[in-house]
Amino acid sequence: MKNYTVRKLLNHEYRKWLLKKHYAKRLANVSYGYGLIDENYNILGVCTFGSPVNRQFNNGDCIFNNYKVRTLELNRLVMNSNQEKNLLSYFLSSCLKLLPKPLAVISYADPNNNHHGYIYQATNWIYTGTSGDKYIYHFANGDSFDVRRGLHNKPKVVSYEKVKSTYRYLYLLGNKTQKKEMLKDLKYEHLDYPKGNNKNYKCIDIDMKIQPELFSF
């Protein structure tokens, strides 16, 4: 797309942006962070990837029968509102092209937040079904976290509840031979995409620029 580009962000750039913008209001483990930049050097969106929270997915374990490949989790993808059509798809596709290869990327859509993964469907990810049982733990200090974050160094648990399992998506990166081998060795079936109305959560738009001297179109 004209007047936009995607590039790797500095640590402080994506940290500040995500803490203000993303509904989780917390940072994930980040190995690669990318920004969608307009011609005026504004950051319009942020996408980050890191080691899977579920360590069983590392090196392709639990994804392939025998194939070994590095695995990352897409753990944050967010963009300012009122952007032109298909810009989010362009942003995600561009980020995937910048990642090292070969690589398997997993991500989740949370139906508890009215997310069904339409952006993964639009960019041709493989839908592999739902994750395991999911519980939300409520703590004495008023915080609430899902079990994937662990319970280490947390206040006393006041209560917990079982909620809907998240939808799990997979994207394979590599040359034709590598992707063919990964697909052949995949443990999961290719399932039909889940349907539902996606709901955009309400949050502020972020007005933040990068330093022009560090960047060129």
Q: What is the pLDDT of residue 216?
A: 44
> What pLDDT does 12 receive?
87
Domain match, 63 and 24 both: yes
- As given in the structure block, the two tokens for residue 185 are 């060795």
Beta bridge partners of 6: 36
Supply 124's token pair. 């041709």
Q: What is the pLDDT of residues 142-163, one digit of tens each?
A: 666 665 545 555 667 667 777 7
**Domain shared by 107 and 58, yes or no:** yes
- In this prediction, residue 201 carries a pLDDT of 47
| pLDDT at residue 190, rounded to an integer | 93
Return all residues near 110 (Cβ < 8 A) that are at least 6 apart. 164, 166, 167
Same domain, 150 and 76: no
Number of domains in the chain: 2
| Claim to verify: residue 55 and residue 153 sit in the same structural domain | no
Model pLDDT, residue 30:
93
137 with 127, same domain: the answer is no
pLDDT at residue 183, rounded to an integer: 96
Do β-strands 144-146 and 134-139 pair in parallel, antiparallel, or remain unpaired? antiparallel
Is 69 in the same domain as 112? Answer: yes
Shared domain for 107 and 200, answered yes or no, is: yes
Tokens of 82: 């009122």
- All residue ranges of the chain with pLDDT < 50 are 149, 201, 213-217
Instruction: Judge if 93 and 170 occupy the same domain.
Output: yes
- Rounded to whole angstroms, the Cα distance separating 30 from 51 reads 7
Rounded to whole angstroms, the Cα distance separating 86 from 6 reads: 15
Pairing relation of β-strands 134-139 and 126-130?
unpaired
67 with 148, same domain: the answer is: no
β-pairing, 32-38 vs 43-50, is: antiparallel
Strands 157-163 and 126-130: unpaired
* 16 and 44 Cβ atoms separated by less than 8 Å: no
Predicted local distance difference test score (pLDDT) of residue 206 = 54
Q: Which residue has the tokens 């809907």?
A: 164
pLDDT of residue 7: 94
Instruction: Report pLDDT for 181.
Output: 97
CATH of the domain at 82: 3.40.630.30
**pLDDT single digits (tens) 42-82:** 999 999 999 998 877 877 888 999 999 999 999 999 888 88
Q: Are residues 108 and 148 in the same domain?
A: no
Q: Is beta strand 157-163 parallel, antiparallel or unpaired with respect to 167-173?
A: unpaired
Could you identify the residue written with the tokens 């590392």? 58
Q: What is the pLDDT of residue 38?
A: 92
Q: What range defines the domain where residue 151 resides?
A: 132-163
